[in-house]
């Protein structure tokens, strides 16, 4: 896809990742049309974008038919509740936006002759029996557990995106996003990073689930956005992992956040959620090779910026 003056539609534009993507593409001189229904997105995330004449916004649920007048060069489908707490709270909207919303967004891209990008997830690998996870791993997902609403919707979405690519010969990109953090996450989205930072800053107990031996690999938002932008501009026609391979246990994460926040919070243990993946780490060989991408921001630097955001 040519690199300047494109028109890009972003679903989930008022979300954490969506809002950073809108900002990125506007900064590159593209026009951006944002869509969000504000289930988990927030107007504060995009307020500052309205002063850019290249930005427009439609409040809508992408589960329903989307009419967008004029030309579109790309449709980036990022709408979905994305934290385990959110998709437990909104199980049916999560299934619908992953399944019906992906269908509608693909249909829109097809009608416009636009490139389609699906925001997929490391959750397609479930509780993985292979670590790190390469794109060729098929995963270990419980379809009927509490995470199934998200995991299976995203797996269905990948299947549908690939079918549109094969059958309708559309340009399709699939990004499998691993744990990402940074400014504009909601304090109460329930994920480890915002929970631990909020708790550390308030001096209340830091809640580590289980023994805290489970691992995650955390990518800073600016690195993720760079990877996604390169993927949009690439020819990669099958899924690509984007994430930071630096793997830490949740207990280490809690201790690091407590230290960086200068906090004296106690660390307390709470029951491990059902089907909580025990390990997670991206194999990023494909992104390195096809996109010449690798993350640049260290966990500590990213956490410092995020702590500063939560303080403010």
Which residues are catalytic, by number? Answer: 150
What tokens appear for 302 in the block? 């990213």
Residue 124 is classified by DSSP as G
Kindly tell me which of 26 and 208 has the beta carbon lying closer to ligand UDP: 208
Q: How far apart are the first and last CA of the chain?
A: 38
Min dist. Cβ of residue 277 to ligand UDP (A): 6
Q: What share of the chain is helix, strand, coil (3-state, %, to 5)?
A: 40, 20, 40
Strand partners, 74: 8, 115
Taking contact as CB under 6 A, which single stretch among the options 45-53, 95-103, 155-163, 188-196 is the one that binds ligand UDP? 188-196
Number of residues that bind ligand UDP (CB under 6 A): 15
Q: Does 216 bind ligand UDP (CB under 6 A)?
A: yes
Indicate which single residue of 84, 128, 183, 243 sits in contact with ligand UDP (rule: CB under 6 A).
84
Q: Does 40 bind ligand UDP (CB under 6 A)?
A: no
Q: Does 179 bind ligand UDP (CB under 6 A)?
A: yes
Residue 275: exposure state from Cβ atoms within 10 A (0-12, 13-18, ≥19): middle
Whole-number Å distance between alpha carbons of 271 and 256 = 21
Cα–Cα distance list, 198 to 89, 107, 254, 265 (Å): 21, 40, 11, 11
Host H or E run for residue 33: strand 31-36
Q: Does 124 bind ligand UDP (CB under 6 A)?
A: no
CB 23 within 8 A of CB 183: no
Kindly tell me which of 166 and 187 has the beta carbon lying closer to ligand UDP: 187
Q: Does 273 bind ligand UDP (CB under 6 A)?
A: yes
Kindly tell me which of 171 and 215 has the beta carbon lying closer to ligand UDP: 215
What tokens appear for 80 in the block? 């979905």
Q: Does 252 bind ligand UDP (CB under 6 A)?
A: no
Kindly tell me which of 96 and 191 has the beta carbon lying closer to ligand UDP: 191
Q: Does 207 bind ligand UDP (CB under 6 A)?
A: yes
Chain centroid to Cα 267, Å, comes to 27
What tokens appear for 308 in the block? 């500063």
Cβ neighbours around 143 below 10 Å, total: 11
Kindly tell me which of 6 and 216 has the beta carbon lying closer to ligand UDP: 216
Indicate which single residue of 250, 284, 287, 307 sits in contact with ligand UDP (rule: CB under 6 A).
250
Instruction: Write b or e for each residue in 98-112: b if 16 or more Cβ atoms lie within 10 A of its Cβ, otherwise e.
Output: bbebbbbbbbbbeeb
Q: Does 244 bind ligand UDP (CB under 6 A)?
A: no
Q: Does 192 bind ligand UDP (CB under 6 A)?
A: yes
Q: Does 208 bind ligand UDP (CB under 6 A)?
A: yes
Taking contact as CB under 6 A, which single stretch among the options 62-70, 103-111, 124-132, 190-198 is the one that binds ligand UDP? 190-198
What's the CA dihedral at 181, 186, 86, 40 to 10 degrees? -110
Kindly tell me which of 114 and 257 has the beta carbon lying closer to ligand UDP: 257
Min dist. Cβ of residue 238 to ligand UDP (A): 23
Q: Does 72 bind ligand UDP (CB under 6 A)?
A: no
Whole-number Å distance between alpha carbons of 242 and 83 = 17
Which residues are at the interface with ligand UDP (CB under 6 A)?
83-84, 179, 190-192, 195, 207-209, 214, 216, 250, 273, 276
């Amino acid at each position: 896809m040519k690199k300047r003056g494109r028109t890009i539609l972003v679903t989930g534009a008022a979300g954490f990742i969506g809002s950073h993507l809108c900002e990125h593409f506007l900064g590159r001189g593209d026009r951006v049309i944002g869509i969000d229904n504000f289930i988990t997105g927030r107007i504060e995330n995009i307020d500052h974008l309205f002063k850019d004449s290249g930005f427009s916004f439609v409040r809508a649920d992408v589960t329903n038919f989307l009419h967008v007048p004029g030309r579109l060069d790309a449709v980036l489908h990022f709408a979905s509740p994305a934290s385990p707490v959110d998709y437990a709270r909104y199980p049916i909207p999560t299934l619908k936006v992953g399944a019906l919303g992906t269908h509608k967004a693909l249909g829109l891209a097809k009608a416009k002759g636009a490139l389609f990008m699906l925001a997929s997830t490391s959750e397609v690998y479930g509780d993985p029996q292979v670590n790190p996870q390469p794109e060729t791993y098929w995963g270990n997902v419980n379809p009927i557990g509490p995470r199934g609403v998200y995991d299976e919707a995203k797996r269905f979405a990948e299947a549908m995106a690939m079918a549109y690519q094969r059958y309708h010969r559309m340009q399709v990109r699939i990004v499998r996003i691993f744990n990402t953090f940074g400014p504009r996450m909601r304090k109460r989205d329930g994920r480890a990073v915002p929970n631990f930072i909020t708790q550390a800053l308030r001096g209340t107990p830091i809640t580590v689930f289980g023994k805290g031996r489970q691992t995650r690999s955390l990518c800073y938002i600016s690195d993720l956005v760079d990877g996604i932008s390169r993927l949009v501009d690439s020819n990669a026609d099958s899924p690509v992992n984007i994430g930071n391979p630096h793997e830490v246990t949740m207990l280490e994460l809690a201790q690091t956040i407590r230290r960086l926040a200068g906090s004296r919070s106690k660390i307390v243990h709470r029951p491990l959620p059902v089907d909580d993946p025990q390990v997670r780490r991206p194999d990023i060989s494909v992104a390195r090779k096809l996109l010449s991408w690798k993350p640049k921001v260290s966990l500590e630097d990213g956490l410092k910026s995020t702590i500063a955001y939560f303080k403010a």
